[in-house]
Structure formats: structure tokens, C-alpha cells
Amino acid sequence: MNKLSAALLVGAATLAFAASAQAEADGEAIYNQACMACHMTGAAGAPIRGDADAWAPRVEQGIDTLYTHAIEGIGAMPPKGGQMGLSDEEVQAAVDYMVEPVL
């Protein structure tokens, strides 16, 4: 196999993996990596996962508003929880994971 063929094969595999990873964002893993420190302890007023009372007024605003707040930041929470390397889809998956127990 020549170098060009090998490079094309590696490039195609990389694109396929990236597309698959992006399409299947793991909300729980992202929560554990980027969100848990505040959303498990309630730091700076962060609603704790599973706390229906804390999430109720937020959920009432609609999921799109929750996504926007998580992506752009709100109050003490920085955009994307300070994890700017996350895609919007990854942040949305983490939001979905956080609100799932209270829906």
C-alpha cells in the first residue's frame, strides 16, 4: 500500500470515528467529566441532578432555554461549564442526562 492510499484510509477512518462520536454524545460521561463538580454538590446554586424542586422552574422554561443557558452560560456557570472544547451537541447531551430523572 502506498503512502497516499494509507493516508486516505486513515483520514476516512478518522472522519468516520469523529462523525460517530459526535452523533452519539454520551451525556452521562460528559456530565461526569464536565458538570458533576457543581451539579452533584449544588455549588454556586447549581441544581443537583435528580432534585425535582430545583429543576422544576428551569424545566418549565423549556429544553431549548436549558440548552442555551448551558451553552452560553448563566449566573455563576460559565459557557459550556467552562469546558469550551465540548460541542453544542455534547453539552445538550449532558443537559438531557441531568434533567432525565425529573421529567
- Using the predicted structure, report yes or no on whether residue 16 has a pLDDT greater than 80: no
Instruction: Note the pLDDT tens digit of each residue in 77-99.
Output: 999 999 999 999 999 999 999 99
Over range 32-44, report the average pLDDT: 96
Instruction: Note the pLDDT tens digit of each residue in 51-65.
Output: 999 999 999 999 999
How high is the pLDDT of residue 3? 54
CATH of domain 25-102: 1.10.760.10
- Using the predicted structure, report yes or no on whether residue 10 has a pLDDT greater than 50: no
- Using the predicted structure, report yes or no on whether residue 20 has a pLDDT greater than 80: no
Domain parsing of the chain, residue ranges: 25-102
How far apart CA 83 and CA 11 sit, in angstroms, is 27
How high is the pLDDT of residue 24? 81
